[in-house]
Amino acid sequence: MRIVICYKCVPEEQDLKIRPDRTPDWSGAARKIGQYDLNAIEAGVRLAESAGGEVLALTAGAGANDSKLQKAVLSRGPAAMYGIKTDEETLSDSLATAYLLKAGIEKIGGVDLVLCGEGSGDIYARQVGPLLGALIGWRTLNAVSALSFAGGALRAERSLENSREVLRVDLPAVAALTTDANLPRIPGMKDILAAGKKPVTIWDAAEVSAPPPRGAKTVSILAPEKQERRQIIVEGESEESIAVFYGHLRKVLR
Amino acid sequence: MDFRLTEEQELLLESLRELMRRDCPEAYMKECYENHEYPQRFIDALTAGGFGLLGVPEEYGGTPADTVTMMLVMEEITKNGGPHFSFGQPLSIKDMLEFGSPEQIEQTMTAVKAGQAAFVLGFTEPQAGSDSGAIATTFKRRNGGVYINGHKSFMSNALRAPYMLCLARDADETAADKRQAFSMWWLPMQKPGVKAEPLKKIGWHMLDTCEVYLDDVELTEKDLVGKEGDGFRQAMINFEAERLLIAAGLLGSAECAFEDAARYACQRVQFGRPIGDNQLIQLKITQMKIKIENMRNMVYKCAWEIDNKIPVRISSALAKLYCAQAAMEVADDALQIMGGIGYTVDCRISRLWLDTRVHRIGGGTDEVMIHVAGRAILKNYR
């Protein structure tokens, strides 16, 4: 079984700054593997450890060429890493990202299963997994909280609002994992040193695909307006205090 | 000079931070400290993450690492509020890997792989603290056995470690050179005649420290470590790297105290503005930062010297001395900035303050470091 895990290198959210015009400034932000993608990587590696197979990692965007991030993903278990260089604007569009990843998966070839995180760590639109599945035309699942392989098929558990759905899915398939699917392993020094020796392949976007179509146009991204806190403190537990508190709430909600 | 870390070092520290977020949160440290409990959960996590074998040669199942990397890991643990004693086994077991018999090495590595301290370092005695030559514990051959008698002091981990690496004097010494009277013995702590009594300390509460009484403890010839009469020389081989490890831990705890105090200075409002707006607080913050930069430079440079086979007799003693004093000053200033809340056990600065103080004594006192460095420095000008 050949498993490809799609992941995104996202800016460290703690490094986010907001400019006076409320636009986000990521210029000083370090990059990391998206935190939701770590669950997909762990799920893929565990699946291969239990059922056999090969795990490969695939990303598109600025992080593709970053050797530290390459080692970071490879230290978590994948045997090889593939990257597609493209600009940030393309990556901000879920459809365009899914097109590029599809092209990458086809270029890798022989893939049985594609795993994605629930959403990207920066935009968190949660669209790339399902879009990718639809574009390739494979069985597609989201909200997957457990994965195993038995009897030649995938067994997937999905966490729904009020229930848990268990599905038997034939391969090939695309699945997006939830964050409760597992606790990602922490790479040790041996894993980190081994990562530097694993193969890395980087493509320009033009090598794998025609310019991908865009599904949406970003008009603007703005941080919420700052609101001054009103600093109204109502003390005590008496009926009067509660009435005063209620009065303030009503004023705001009107 | 290139001060950047390698990508591997950065990734290793990221892994360590993640591990500590999961298994060494401040609430856990506080609970262990208050209950005088060994932080087994954190030690187990470090072991599972491979940190217990970092720096151990591959032939013993470890992952080799240079001294700079070892010091970075030590610094990161204490910088995140972890205990000093949780890392550094690979340095402390160097004596055993170098001089131990295959059986002793196997016993050492079994413990290390399980995340345990393999042995208590049995050097210090009531009359032999800085003056190791005054060690009075003896070994005597009798009826085909070897019998150890004596009293060891301030034995860290004596309640948990399975062995003591015991430095003892030949009861029948005749050698002209008194230093040749000392040998190292591998002493199982469960043997009849071994009694450990915990000391009550003002800090360092997560690790036991005991008085250990050795009353006619019976060993055999196979329990000798290395060569008879070479005990002192064997004990000295790794002192310098171990001193530096203490300095690196102090650097991290100073950074931890500094960051807590700096954040507090920005948040605590008095007279309508954060206390950090006052220049007296800024003076403290600035001086603390200078001390931390100095500590870091001394630790990293000395580690680099060890990795490049440059003698560090002077620089390791200077680093230990400076870091022990400067870290205490930083912790004290941090506590002062935090005021009353800093003096409560709800705030970790009180723990850092108490636990930092011991390092001006343990691992070679300030005065011994001055003795070591002072003599060596002047020797260069004779």
B46 and B75 part of one domain: yes
Say which of A68, A190, A195 has its CB closest to residue B50: A190
In chain A the domains, ranked by start, together with CATH numbers, are 2-208 (3.40.50.620)
Degrees to nearest 5, angle at CA B243 with B199 and B61 = 95
pLDDT grade, residue A236 (50/70/90)?
A: confident
Interface test with B, best of A9, A75, A186, A190 (most B CBs within 10 A): A186
User: Hey, how many other C-beta atoms are within 10 angstroms of the C-beta on A112?
Assistant: 16
* pLDDT tens digits along B7-58: 999 999 999 999 999 999 999 999 999 999 999 999 999 999 999 999 999 9
B206 and B299 part of one domain: no
Q: What is the pLDDT of residue B176?
A: 66
B148 and B86 part of one domain: no
B128 and B174 part of one domain: yes
Say which of B18, B19, B63 has its CB closest to residue A189: B63
- Number of cross-chain residue pairs from A and B with Cβ atoms under 8 Å apart: 42
pLDDT exceeds 80 at position B132: no
Contacts of B42 in chain A (CB under 8 A): none
B221 secondary structure, DSSP code = G
A91 to chain B nearest CA, in Å?
Answer: 25
pLDDT exceeds 90 at position A44: yes
Query: Does residue B2 belong to any structural domain of this protein?
Result: no
**Boundary residue ending a domain (B94, B113, B132):** B113
Residues of chain B that touch chain A, judged by Cβ-Cβ distance less than 8 Å: 7-8, 10-12, 14-15, 18-19, 22, 49-51, 54, 63, 65, 69
- CATH number for the domain including B134? 2.40.110.10
Q: How far apart are CA B111 and CA B108, in angstroms?
A: 5
Tell me the average pLDDT of chain B.
93
Chain A nearest-CA residue for B53: A189
Pairing of strands A173-177, A113-116: parallel
CB contact under 8 A, B8 and A196: yes
Structure tokens at B211: 């008085």
Q: What is the pLDDT of residue B2?
A: 87
Query: Does residue B1 belong to any structural domain of this protein?
Result: no
Contacts of A186 in chain B (CB under 8 A): 15, 18-19, 22, 49
* pLDDT tens digits along B327-361: 999 999 999 999 999 999 999 999 999 999 999 99
- Of chain A, the percentage scoring pLDDT greater than 90 comes to 72
CB contact under 8 A, B49 and A72: no
CB contact under 8 A, A189 and B50: yes
Helix (H, G, I), strand (E, B) or coil at B65: coil
B255 and B313 part of one domain: yes
* pLDDT tens digits along A170-207: 999 999 999 999 999 999 989 999 999 999 999 999 99
A77: left (phi over 0), alpha (psi -120 to 50) or beta: left
B91 and B225 part of one domain: no
B242 and B375 part of one domain: yes
- CATH number for the domain including B278? 1.20.140.10
Query: Does residue B302 belong to any structural domain of this protein?
Result: yes
Q: What is the pLDDT of residue B79?
A: 98
pLDDT exceeds 90 at position B233: no
Partners of B147 in the β-ladder: B140, B218
User: Hey, how many other C-beta atoms are within 10 angstroms of the C-beta on A139?
Assistant: 17
ipTM above 0.90, yes or no: no
Q: What is the pLDDT of residue B175?
A: 67
Total domains in chain B come to: 3
CB contact under 8 A, A190 and B63: yes
Question: Domain range spanning residue B29?
Answer: 7-113
Pairing of strands B194-198, B209-219: antiparallel
Say which of B8, B10, B15 has its CB closest to residue A193: B8
CB contact under 8 A, B10 and A68: yes
Integer angstrom CA distances of residue B278 from A1, B14, B266, B282, B285: 64, 35, 10, 6, 11
Query: Does residue B354 belong to any structural domain of this protein?
Result: yes
CB contact under 8 A, B8 and A189: yes
Contacts of B113 in chain A (CB under 8 A): none
User: Hey, how many other C-beta atoms are within 10 angstroms of the C-beta on B143?
Assistant: 6
B55: left (phi over 0), alpha (psi -120 to 50) or beta: left
Query: Does residue B97 belong to any structural domain of this protein?
Result: yes
Say which of B12, B19, B51 has its CB closest to residue A192: B12
B107 and B210 part of one domain: no
B331 and B198 part of one domain: no
Query: Does residue B191 belong to any structural domain of this protein?
Result: yes
Query: Does residue B243 belong to any structural domain of this protein?
Result: yes
B191 to chain A nearest CA, in Å?
Answer: 37
Q: How far apart are CA B124 and CA B155, in angstroms?
A: 8
**Boundary residue ending a domain (B88, B113, B138):** B113
* pLDDT tens digits along B178-219: 778 899 999 999 999 999 999 999 999 999 999 999 999 999
- CATH number for the domain including B92? 1.10.540.10
Chain A nearest-CA residue for B54: A189
Q: Are B181 and B173 in contact (CB under 8 A)?
A: yes
Q: How far apart are CA A172 and CA A154, in angstroms?
A: 9
CB contact under 8 A, B8 and A190: no
B272 and B367 part of one domain: yes
**Boundary residue ending a domain (B194, B212, B229):** B229
Say which of A72, A188, A196 has its CB closest to residue B50: A188
The more confident residue out of B90 and B5 is B5
pLDDT exceeds 90 at position B222: yes
Chain B nearest-CA residue for A70: B7
* pLDDT tens digits along A84-134: 998 877 778 899 999 999 999 999 999 999 999 999 888 888 899 999 999
The more confident residue out of A79 and B123 is A79
B257 and B220 part of one domain: no
pTM: 0.90
B27 and B159 part of one domain: no
Query: Does residue B42 belong to any structural domain of this protein?
Result: yes
